[in-house]
Amino acid sequence: MKGKLYAVGVGPGEPSLLTIKALKVLEEARVVAVPKGKAEKGSLALSIIKDYIKDKEVLELVFPMTDNKEVLEEFWEKAAEKVGALLEKGEKVVFATLGDPSLYSTFSYLKSYLEKQGNSFSVEVIPGINSFSAAASLLQLSLVEGDQNLAVVSAPQNISRLKEVLKIFDTVVILKVNKYLEEIMKVLEEMGLEDKGYFVSRCGREDEYFSRDLKGLLEEKLDYLSMIIVRK
Ligand SMILES: C[S@@+](CC[C@H](N)C(=O)[O-])C[C@H]1O[C@@H](n2cnc3c(N)ncnc32)[C@H](O)[C@@H]1O
């Protein structure tokens, strides 16, 4: 029997923002795979769903936060081998991912490596509430209206293009900003947009935080779960 891989978006952090469908798939699973950045650290996705999967086998998959392609490939391969072994036995495996699976999720790499390794399996993707929709709700901010346009960018890969993006779009959501605040501030100041940014961290978690004083955060160590929304 062919195995089945479910990608389940577990939302931004608050368990009550899990969808009913996500809960149903988690309830029916025997094995739940979760990504994490370091072997010694906990999985953020697991922290959201832990109360709902107490009787399940949890498979923690390490996807290191590095731009070193060789290192990444080695870990993607290892993760795919572990999940592939279960799928080959005809198991249903749930891969739980932060926010929504279509937005900068490790799920896309897992799926393509499973395919590369010749596994035969079916896939179902369960959408989740993404981080910037949750942040907009927290800020009570309308992201775009009428003829306006929205861009979503990842800071590490786009910092050099940020100015161009900010010129074109009315609202720009910048993810993975934790190590890039200084560079982002520089661009915003050059464009006279320094007062148009909203910083949101750990949205939907107990210690969620937001601020409009981006400059005031320059000396702070920022959490990985941080974003900036620039609303012109
Ligand atoms: C790898 S991306 C995953 C995005 C996720 N798939 C989604 O739908 O939002 C991780 C980045 O998303 C943003 N993020 C995810 N959850 C967040 C949260 N609860 N609060 C603030 N930012 C969050 C941060 O910018 C973080 O660096």
Burial of 178 (C-beta count, 10 Å sphere; 0-12/13-18/19+): middle
| Backbone torsions φ then ψ of 178, nearest 5 degrees | -55, -35
When pLDDT is cut at 50, 70 and 90, the band that residue 103 belongs to is: very high
* Domain assignments of the chain as residue spans, ordered by start: 3-126, 131-231
pLDDT at 36: 95
Probe target for ligand 1 pocket from 98, 201, 228, with the most ligand atoms within 8 Å of CB: 98
pLDDT at 67: 83
Architecture of domain 3-126: 3-Layer(aba) Sandwich (3.40)
* Ligand 1 nearest-atom number relative to CA 202: 20
Does 3-126 match 131-231 in CATH topology? no
pLDDT at 65: 87
Distance 98 CA to ligand 1 centre (A): 7
Q: What is the pLDDT of residues 105-146, one digit of tens each?
A: 999 999 999 999 999 999 999 999 999 999 999 999 999 999
Q: Which residues contact 188 (CB under 8 A, 6 or more apart)?
A: 166, 194, 196, 197, 214, 230
DSSP 3-state assignment of 50? Answer: helix
* Ligand 1 nearest-atom number relative to CA 178: 27
Q: What is the pLDDT of residues 171-223, one digit of tens each?
A: 999 999 999 999 999 999 999 999 999 999 999 999 999 999 999 999 999 99
* Ligand 1 nearest-atom number relative to CA 227: 25
pLDDT at 195: 96
| Contact yes or no for 107/79 (Cβ under 8 A) | no
DSSP 3-state assignment of 42? Answer: coil
pLDDT at 66: 87
pLDDT at 115: 96
Q: Which residues contact 131 (CB under 8 A, 6 or more apart)?
A: 12, 98, 99, 103, 175, 203, 225, 227
Burial of 101 (C-beta count, 10 Å sphere; 0-12/13-18/19+): buried
Positions of E strands within the chain: 3-9, 31-36, 57-62, 92-97, 121-126, 150-154, 171-175, 197-201, 209-211, 226-231
Nearest-5° Cα angle at 163, 162 to 169: 85
When pLDDT is cut at 50, 70 and 90, the band that residue 1 belongs to is: confident
Q: What is the pLDDT of residues 38-84, one digit of tens each?
A: 988 999 999 999 999 999 999 999 999 888 899 999 999 999 999 99
Whether pLDDT at 230 is above 80: yes
Q: How far apart are CA 115 and CA 90, in angstroms?
A: 15
Query: Which residue has the least CA distance to atom 7 on ligand 1?
Result: 99
From 102, 61, 65, select the one nearest 176 (Cα to Cα).
65
The set of protein residues with a Cβ atom below 6 angstroms from ligand 1 is 12-13, 98-100, 103-105, 130-131, 135, 175-176, 200-204, 224-227
What Cα–Cα distance (Å) separates residue 224 from each residue in 68, 120, 155, 172, 189? 18, 35, 12, 18, 23
Structure tokens of 166? 């900010």
pLDDT at 148: 98
pLDDT at 38: 92
CATH topology of domain 131-231: 3.30.950
pLDDT at 180: 97
Q: List for the chain the helix, strand, coil content (%; round to 5).
A: 40, 25, 40
DSSP 3-state assignment of 178? Answer: coil
- What pTM did the predictor assign? 0.95
